Chains A and B, each alone.
Chain A
Amino acid sequence: EVQLLESGGNLVQSGGSLRLSCAASGFAFSTYVMTWVRQAPGKGLEWVAGISAIDGGTYYADSVKGRFTISRDNSKNTLYLQMNSLRAEDTALYYCANSVSYAMDVWGQGTTVTVSS
């Protein structure tokens, strides 16, 4: 069974940093594009960042570019999101998902990030 388990969410002050993790199991992690998506309270989904399987290329939404870094450790089947210079508007439930054909396939249950101002 494909599983994605996010962790690392917490309450942090504005300007602070946090690292999210997503532990993957049940599929060939190293061969999949991986993605972070977030959802602010009461709002819609927002694509945040993606990382290629082949060359490790990374891609970011304009709202997080320069502040967030997506990375992966294929030896640990784990995806990461390093979040720096956090702002109140980064408060959200953060999901990781594996990607098939430019779409999300399987989703985790999410981890909550709250940024206090």
Chain B
Amino acid sequence: QTVVTQEPSFSVSPGGTVTLTCGLSSGSVATGNNPSWYQQTPGRAPRTLIYNTNARSSGVPDRFSGSIVGNKAALTITGAQADDESDYYCLLYLGSGIRVFGGGTKLTVL
């Protein structure tokens, strides 16, 4: 069974840049996996940030960007702000209609 992997936690200083990654337990992530990224703060529904690897969802500031780095999908936050402190999830399309979320990364801004 394919597992989607993310760093369990990450920290960044205010104003700093951080790159979160999303990999596959077997194989490389490619644009065909249509990586997408979601932000969730406690008690709230997720918010869509990025779809199709690097397309920003409506209203998402341009300091959030998506890419493929090596064999993983990546979410980069530049100029981190206090309210970026959240859980971040990636989602990969594995074919045949099946999608799988990663386990999520808890980002701390301090």
Contact = CB atoms under 8 A, between A and B. Distances in A.
B64 interface: no
Given A44-B103, A47-B91, A59-B98, A103 B46 contact: no
Interface residues of B, number: 26
A50 B97 contact: yes
B76 interface: no
B104 interface: yes
Contact of B46 (A45, A50, A58, A102): A45
Contacts of B40: 45
A62 B1 contact: yes
Contacts of A59: 96-98
B34 A101 contact: yes
A47 B89 contact: no
Interface stretch (A13-21, A77-85, A106-114): A106-114
A83 B46 CA distance: 23
Given A61-B98, A102-B51, A107 B91 contact: no
A57 interface: yes
Interface of A: 35, 37, 44-47, 50, 52, 57-59, 61-62, 95, 100-110
